[in-house]
Amino acid sequence: MLKITKEKFKDVAVLKLDGKLVIGDEVEQFRKAVSETIKEGDKKIVIDLSNLSYMDSTGLGELVRAYTTVKKANGELKLASLTEKVKDLMFMTKLLTIFENYDTVEEAAGSFE
């Protein structure tokens, strides 16, 4: 089960993921949340992963897809509050070199110029 909460932090959209980002409804739900955020005109997006308990390879792929979708819409996507599990997974797959990631949502939001 995945719960996605959308908040605004100044002019930055923050999508907080709570639960698991795995193949099935969860990935579809995440994809829809990113699309809606872009449609609403948000170009600065932070994904808060502090409460993400698990992510499989499909979830990882969906993060990459979200990144490219936001880039194509002339936006920026950054990650915040990666758990150790997620950080290790992203380090092993070399995805930490692609994503800008920050310890807190506040740092991530403040990094947009």
Residue 97 has what pLDDT? 92
Tokens 């092993």 label which residue? 92
Q: What percent of the chain has pLDDT over 90?
A: 96
Residue 19 has pLDDT above 80, yes or no: yes
- CATH number for position 20: 3.30.750.24
Residue 109 has pLDDT above 80, yes or no: yes
Beta bridge partners of 96: none
Residue 112 has what pLDDT? 95
Asked whether the beta carbons of 19 and 52 are under 8 A apart, the reply is yes
Owning domain of residue 8: 2-110
Total tally of structural domains belonging to the chain: 1
Residue 113 has what pLDDT? 75
Instruction: Return mean pLDDT, the chain.
Output: 96
Residue 10 has what pLDDT? 87
pLDDT tens readout for residues 58-108: 999 999 999 999 999 999 999 999 999 999 999 999 999 999 999 999 999
Range 64-72 contact pairs with CB under 8 angstroms and sequence separation of 24 or more: 64/95, 64/98, 65/31, 66/30, 66/31, 66/34, 67/98, 67/99, 69/34, 69/35, 69/38, 70/34, 70/38, 70/43, 70/45
Q: What percent of the chain has pLDDT over 70?
A: 100
